[in-house]
Amino acid sequence: MILLNENYLKLPGSYLFSTIAKKVAAYQQEHPNEDIIRLGIGDVSRPLVPAVVEALHKASDEMGRAETFRGYGPEQGYAFLREAILKHDYLDRNIALEADEIFVSDGAKSDVANFQELFDVSCKVALQDPVYPVYLDTNVMAGRTGNFENGRFGGIVYLPCTEENGFIPDLPRERVDLVYLCSPNNPTGAAMTRSELKKWVDWAAQHNSVILYDSAYEAFITQPDVPHSIYEIPGAQKVAVEFRSFSKTAGFTGTRCAYTVVPKALQVYDRAGKPHALNALWLRRQTTKFNGVPYIVQRAAQAVFTPMGQAQIRSVIEVYQKNAQVILQALQAAGLQAFGGVNAPYIWLKTPNGIDSWTFFDRLLSKARVVGTPGVGFGACGEGYFRLTAFNTPELTQAAASRIAHLTF
């Protein structure tokens, strides 16, 4: 008899977005002539910018010539990309890091999911509620939780993000080893100010805890008091790992490239109390389990940091930021209360008249033919809320907004 990892049996029947896809497919089968506008899953709609495409073509040509062909590359990323990331995202912001603290990967989702492997199964985990499901589900798979009851897993410290606290989590009231923070936040769109993030860094230092900080949406920040990196906060390099992605910043959802920063100052301990650099452990993990991001993709990512690449990408991000404002205005016209959309591409709305999240999903689909994401899919505190994204085209976003603005609930 071959035994399975029974922690997988604790998980709900399917991933949130798989459930949404099935419901939309069923609706389309019953209504084949109706057009559906998707403001749900956070995929982008704009193509790769010309600077990136040109770099892809050039690198592809290199791979076709013997003198410039490349096979296996360094698992942690080519030096040309790590140096570009270092300069643009850190040194230019007066953040003192080194290139070997940056690890290039095929996606922030992969890194966020895999990073928990470095910690003992007994480590206590805290995360925001509502939360991006990958943070939670991968810890369930690893065996750090109890069973799923009444909308929550036992053994997890949930940090409620509600209207009352501005969707910014309060510090844990009990000892935790790992805490996942996402700012600007998916799904609520809320972003921590410098003073709010400093409280977390100081707390982690005091309690010898590690912050796993997802800043995949930092390119959408518009307010000056919202940090683009947790390392803008003094002391953060001793307590925090930062995850970044090219997916939403540069449209790499189908191209796949991201990076994780693991400062060498960040230490963890074995059972004997001996310290170990987390940077060295992540390097060991990556060199064992990962063969690196393709050369052509890394050359494309490098082009993101050129002056032309930055200008072109900024114009794309501005399109999505305008989409967010269009959605917010439509929700207000429909008499709905909405949050986010200022520092993030996500709009978090409160469902009207006490409607639950999935009922609102069904009504929005049937009445407006618009797809969003039920808030309860992100956690118990998401019940009664709903997420819309700004990643569709301006034309379809405007059409969806017009449909929503004329709805009555």
pLDDT digits (tens, 9 = 90+) for 303-348: 999 999 999 999 999 999 999 999 999 999 999 999 999 999 999 9
Give per-residue pLDDT as tens, 377-392. Answer: 999 999 999 999 999 9
Residue with tokens 């998401």: 382
Q: What's this model's pTM, rounded to 2 decimal places?
A: 0.96
Interstrand relation of 346-350 and 370-371 (parallel, antiparallel or unpaired) = unpaired
Nearest one of 69, 40, 178, 48 to 118, comparing CA atoms: 178
Segment 197-222 shows an average pLDDT of 98
Give per-residue pLDDT as tens, 90-101. Answer: 999 999 999 999
407 — pLDDT class (breaks 50, 70, 90): confident
Q: What pLDDT score does 41 carry?
A: 75
Give per-residue pLDDT as tens, 145-171. Answer: 999 998 899 999 999 999 999 999 999
Instruction: Estimate the crossing angle of helix 295-303 against helix 50-63, to 10 degrees.
Output: 150
The answer to whether the beta carbons of residues 80 and 298 sit under 8 Å apart is yes
| Average model confidence (pLDDT) across the chain | 96
In the three-class reduction of DSSP (H, G, I as helix; E, B as strand; rest coil), residue 191 is classed as coil
Q: Where are the domains of the chain?
A: 6-47+309-405, 52-307
Q: Which fold has domain 52-307?
A: Aspartate Aminotransferase; domain 2 (3.40.640)
Tell me: pLDDT of 15 over 80: no
> Other CB atoms closer than 10 Å to residue 113's CB: what's the count?
17
In the three-class reduction of DSSP (H, G, I as helix; E, B as strand; rest coil), residue 3 is classed as coil
13 — pLDDT class (breaks 50, 70, 90): low
Say which DSSP state 255 is in. Answer: T
The answer to whether the beta carbons of residues 292 and 366 sit under 8 Å apart is no
The answer to whether the beta carbons of residues 391 and 42 sit under 8 Å apart is yes
Tell me: pLDDT of 216 over 90: yes
Q: Which fold has domain 6-47+309-405?
A: Aspartate Aminotransferase, domain 1 (3.90.1150)
Q: Which residues, at least 6 apart from 120, have a Cβ–Cβ distance to it below 8 Å? A: none
When mean pLDDT is compared across 88-92, 238-242, 405-409, the lowest value belongs to 405-409
The answer to whether the beta carbons of residues 140 and 109 sit under 8 Å apart is no
